A and B are shown apart, each in its own frame.
Chain A
């Protein structure tokens, strides 16, 4: 297993952070949505990360059996917020119920903004890792020059 497999690991990190960012952006955009296809207000989504061994086209059977210690990351699933939605008193709103309350998404956009910044930072760190590993591979090739 060569240094090239580290590129797969960092690529998996980038993909996972990107999925997470997409979900967070969706949350922020839908922070006031009262109507969704499933009925009811928008429910906050989050990505569930899990670390998995990284398969690679070049890895040998021996590597896989020895249990590669290189752990990439995948998005194991999307967790949807199952808490009761917020109820806000807004009589006159088209979605208000008989008491004048509207079910609003239970979300804190500030929290999602901070999570988005953290996902960006994670993404950039993975990009740095790819760049650094690529540099090291280049140095190995230079020995031949």
Chain B
């Protein structure tokens, strides 16, 4: 139970929170002229053997550019906001369930010590 899964989940949550920060930046800059949407290369960072504490954002290609040079799409950012939140919730619940199983093994399944 204390296997690589908890480490994987922690890394997953790290990357998700970094990605959510980038999404928040994009949303704040939805009306800034010349601002280009940023994102993280999630799968590449997740599967990398070691990752920087600050994964670098990359620009997102193929987004329509508005007249003032800004290419932030609120629909895309809203979708990512919801998706990152759900994945983060899932990872948190899985970690809690892992830790609860270990705890119950320590308590030998008895509710009163």
Chains A and B touch (C-beta atoms under 8 A apart): yes
Contact surface of A with B, Cβ cutoff 8 Å: 1-3, 5-6, 9-10, 12-13, 16-17, 20, 48-51, 63, 66, 69-73, 118-119, 121-122, 125-126, 128-129, 132-133, 135-136, 139-140, 142-143, 145
Considering the complex, give the chain A residue whose CB is closest to the CB of B81.
A132
- How far, in angstroms, from A72 to B57 measured CA to CA in the complex? 15
Partner of B28, one of A126, A135, A139, A142: A126
**By the criterion CB–CB under 8 Å, are A66 and B78 in contact?**
no
Partner of A3, one of B21, B25, B33, B78: B21
Mark interface residues in B64-89 (1 if CB within 8 Å of A CB, else 0).
00000000001001100110110011
- How far, in angstroms, from A126 to B74 measured CA to CA in the complex? 10
Partner of B21, one of A9, A20, A145: A9
Known: A6-B21, A72-B25, A132-B84. 14 other contacts (CB 8 A): A3-B20, A6-B25, A10-B27, A49-B32, A51-B32, A69-B22, A69-B56, A71-B28, A71-B35, A72-B28, A125-B78, A126-B27, A129-B81, A143-B95
**By the criterion CB–CB under 8 Å, are A136 and B21 in contact?**
no
**By the criterion CB–CB under 8 Å, are A13 and B29 in contact?**
yes
Tally inter-chain residue pairs, CB-CB below 8 A.
Answer: 112
Mark interface residues in B1-29 (1 if CB within 8 Å of A CB, else 0).
00000000000010011001111110111
**By the criterion CB–CB under 8 Å, are B17 and A3 in contact?**
yes
Give the residues in chain B near A16, CB-CB below 8 Å.
28, 31
Give the residues in chain A near B30, CB-CB below 8 Å.
13, 122, 125
| 8 cross-chain pairs, A with B, having the tightest CB-CB distances, nearest first | A13-B28, A139-B92, A6-B24, A49-B32, A6-B21, A3-B17, A9-B24, A129-B24
- How far, in angstroms, from A51 to B78 measured CA to CA in the complex? 20
Give the residues in chain B near A129, CB-CB below 8 Å.
23-24, 27-28, 81
**By the criterion CB–CB under 8 Å, are A128 and B81 in contact?**
yes
Give the residues in chain A near B74, CB-CB below 8 Å.
121-122, 125
- How far, in angstroms, from A72 to B29 measured CA to CA in the complex? 7
**By the criterion CB–CB under 8 Å, are A143 and B54 in contact?**
no
